[in-house]
A and B are shown apart, each in its own frame.
Chain A
Amino acid sequence: MDAIDKLIKAKIPCPQTGIEIKHTVCAICSPSFNCGVNAYVKDGKMLKLEGMDEHPRNQGHLCTKGLAGREFAYREDRILTPLKRVGERGEGKFVPISWEEAYREIADRLGQIKEKDGADAVAFFGGYNKWYRPWLRRFAHSFGTMNYGTESSTCMTAGWMAWKTAVGQLARPDMEHCDLLLGWAFNPYYSGYLKAQSAEKCRKKGMKIIVVDPMITPTVEKMCDLHLRPYPGTDGALAMCMANILIQKGWIDKDYIDRYVHGFEAYAEYVKQFNESNIEQLTGVPYEQVMEACEMIHQSSSMAINENSAPIPHHKNGFQNYRAIMALSALTGNFDRQGGQLPSKHTFTHQIAGFSTLEDTFADGTEPKNTKPAVGSQKFPLWYHMEREMQVVDLARQILEEDPHPIKAIFAMGMNYRMLPDDNRLREALLKLDFFVDTDLFLTDTAKLADLVLPVCSSYERGELETYPGGYAWLTKPAIDRVGQSKSDAEILCDLAKVMKLGDEMLEAGYEENIRFILQDLDITMEQLKESDVPIHVPNARAIVPGEKLEQGLDTPTGKFELYSELIASHPEWGLDALPTYCEPLDEEDPTIYPYRLCSGGRLPNALHSRLHKVSWTRSLRPAPTADISVEDAAQLGLEKGDDMELYTPRGTICVKANPTHRVPKSVIYFYHGYSEADVNMLMSGTHVDPYSGFPAYNSTRCGMRKKV
């Protein structure tokens, strides 16, 4: 091999090889990260990627998932053209068609349904990632319906709702300045390496961490001063026992409570029932450990609490548990204080960046009047009151029962029906539709059920606006050629708005013009953004001034931190409790038949949802769908590492491999979601959900387990 061939093989970017490094972004996981990527590109094709050194957030790093981005983008099953179904629904037989034909067909079919059954007979669904959601929301509204909903019906939103209930807006931990982190469900080594890096830095400066997690995770191994291991879904009881101890011992901030907290007396009375006599039985955590945690809280001068999108909310009591945990911030005077929980404002597509955009004005600019109730809005009134979009947990039921009105068609972007509990019912519902369109990079299990499938491109192939904490904005540019005829999601929506003649001039103007609108109040121009190859600082960005919001008065009915929610109290028809009341998390099935607690909410470092299960590099790190179970349960059932075993509920059985581990407590099973061949959500009940948020109880389902014979 000559010298040049060696350089090419080693992918050295230099004039001799013709390999260039181009800046782009990873959108495999949550938009709260969107790490910068250095793509090694030759002739429009990516040869390799790594973290972008010049990026203010990730500074050259990437995680296991992001590092698999090249294989993700070039998976062999990327869809290359629009596809039209030719076989039976769900058979997965398609023929390629042109974009013009696809757009025409969508316009005709949706138009016919709108004419015959009304706009509300169509639902618009957004999956992952979230970057195009304001466009899809506006599109649905311009079409004439409030039936717009997303994957966020089961992720993140419940935590934000809990904060809106308590203080009227979002909040985030000020870990950088705290001396105690209450790390509730905190395992950033697997779910957010940037947070782990920050926590390690804070540890060096003396920050202590209490980790609350049933599992012994790497975070527990590496950076934990006290580990509390409640059973999944018993977090609320644990938090209220802590509240009770803090109140009884006088380890609370009475002045702060008098001035800024509403409902203290009622809450103090309520939490008395969580105490030495019952807390171990309710949660599995010995009272002495709860006391120890409270002593650490008492000794700390500031306490921040880890916010999380899924582990706490994914129970039928998840919303209330979230409130109970965050109540600790109010009781100890840590909300809106340096080193505590800081009130924050959403900037753009699920990012809190320290400045405001007109995203909401854009997304809600064409909200229709006099529509029929959105899907799930009657079943989950608090959800709809706060989010004004479908709670998609109720979608399958409405399609199948046509109650309160029929849904005839779905226009979906990146939908994964397996994300919902009892998902076979949703599959059945999708097959019942008159018309189903899905967009995706790949011909997924859901796309195979569609009449039309449109190919979308990855984040490396498109340009998009990103915002980042610290006050940054970045307009990325395509780094590589598009695969096949794929288009970006936003481009598809803007194209379709024209073809369908929705009369929405703004959508018709296209993504770039829309971004111009969304950023118009800021002192940066599109031209500046276009010129820059790296995120730039937005002059309007402003750091939060702790205490400012409390003095102004919070955006709640009382202007205070509401332990007792006046919003909920003012709607007795909702049948919800104004205090963060607690109930047992598990479902009603017979515990003698289903003695285990199935938790599908654990994270693997090499997977996110279903997105990387078919990427061979990441999948090779854990090839078989494998359940982590306790060594005690394994011994009792005669299960050894690698044995085939079955998990079962009244809804069905899945076969997985066993991994007995000391990391998992007795009676709990951790199995991970999104596997086509071992679909854990199929085991779960579609009605075992949180009445406040609608979130499914992914993390606490009664389940049976046996060795496969």
Chain B
Amino acid sequence: MKRYVIDLDMSKCVSCGACTVACMDQNDFVVQDGRRPRRNIFDMEQLEDGKVCFHHLSLGCMHCTDAPCIVGCPSACLSKDPETGMTIYDTTNCIGCHSCAMACPYGVPAFGADGKMTKCDGCYLRIQHGMLPACVKACPFGALQLVDLDDPQQAIPAQHSLRQSSLELLKAQV
């Protein structure tokens, strides 16, 4: 099994939203439903030591290795795709309890009018068929990448990698 994740090189992101729109197209997203998109962008600015700093983020499911959402779901809706390692789901039995959302450090699971969870499934079927996830394919600046955690060649430098520095960055916002 591969251990794929979709990682962001924050030094390359400009919050243009190409990833978000590509994800909407891939997943037939209906804005009017009021559900949060599976991938979201953030264009942030803050004063750090009296200097203005800008940060750009594209955030979807991090496809954690030990995904707390999988453990947190009482209906066993979430699982790891054996081929890609992406965190996938089947919400036939979803009871809308939001346990997954509470377990997720990134607040990724989203809920619509039907009460059932949706989230990024890493476009695992596209990957299985030799294609990139829609957001990775769309990113014009190579900021989003499909990374195999077991392949050291593919790593994004730690200081740029959202996967590696996300919690510090997100904590700074709270």
Contact = CB atoms under 8 A, between A and B. Distances in A.
A617 B25 contact: yes
A498 B15 CA distance: 50
Contacts of B20: 617, 621
Given A48-B26, A68-B21, A196-B140, A620 B126 contact: no
Interface residues of B, number: 34
B171 interface: no
A638 B72 CA distance: 44
Nearest to B56: A218
B54 interface: yes
A502 interface: no
A371 interface: no
B70 to A, nearest CB: 19
Interface stretch (A59-67, A376-384, A478-486, A570-578): A59-67
B140 A193 contact: yes
A605 to B, nearest CB: 4
Contacts of A62: 18, 22, 138, 140
Contact of B140 (A61, A68, A618): A61
B14 A617 contact: no
Contacts of A216: 52, 54
Given A12-B125, A218-B14, A51 B45 contact: no
Interface in B110-144: 123, 125-126, 129, 131, 134, 137-138, 140-141
B25 A68 contact: yes
B74 interface: no
A661 B47 CA distance: 11
A555 to B, nearest CB: 37
A10 B22 contact: no
A70 interface: yes
A11 interface: yes
Given A51-B138, A63-B140, A617-B25, A10 B37 contact: no
A385 interface: no
B64 interface: no
A64 B125 CA distance: 23
A67 B129 contact: no
A2 interface: no
Among B18, B20, B41, chain A packs the most CB atoms within 10 A around the CB of B18
A12 B141 CA distance: 25
A307 interface: no
Interface in B3-58: 11-12, 14-18, 20-22, 24-26, 29-32, 37, 41, 45, 52, 54, 56
Contact of B29 (A193, A218, A606, A617): A617
A356 B125 CA distance: 46
Nearest to A618: B21
Contacts of B52: 216, 662
A189 B14 contact: yes
Contacts of B14: 189-190, 218, 222, 605
Contacts of B90: 1
Given A63-B16, A222-B14, A193 B21 contact: no
B51 to A, nearest CB: 10
A85 B63 CA distance: 55
A214 to B, nearest CB: 15
A301 interface: no
Nearest to B21: A67
A273 interface: no
A50 interface: yes
Contacts of A238: none
B89 to A, nearest CB: 12
B42 to A, nearest CB: 11
A68 B134 CA distance: 13
Contacts of A620: 31, 37
Nearest to A221: B54
B25 A48 contact: yes
A518 interface: no
A663 B56 CA distance: 14
B138 A193 contact: no
Nearest to B124: A10
A50 B125 contact: no
A398 B9 CA distance: 55
Nearest to B139: A61
Nearest to A12: B129
Nearest to B129: A12
Nearest to B30: A616
A7 interface: yes
Nearest to A660: B45
Contact of A606 (B12, B17, B126, B138): B17
Contacts of B32: 616
Contact of B141 (A6, A68, A196): A196
Interface string A183-206: 000000110010011001000000
Interface string A45-64: 00011110000000011111
Interface string A167-183: 00000000000000000
A337 to B, nearest CB: 30
Contacts of A1: 90
Nearest to B134: A50
Interface of A: 1, 6-7, 10-12, 14, 48-51, 60-64, 67-68, 70-71, 189-190, 193, 196-197, 200, 216, 218, 221-222, 605-606, 616-621, 661-663
Q: Please give me the 7 A-B residue pairs with the lowest Cβ-Cβ distance, nearest first.
A: A10-B125, A605-B16, A218-B14, A616-B31, A193-B140, A662-B52, A67-B21
Given A51-B137, A606-B16, 20 more contacts: A1-B90, A14-B129, A49-B25, A61-B140, A62-B140, A64-B21, A67-B21, A67-B22, A67-B138, A68-B21, A71-B25, A193-B18, A193-B140, A196-B141, A216-B52, A605-B16, A617-B21, A617-B29, A663-B45, A663-B54
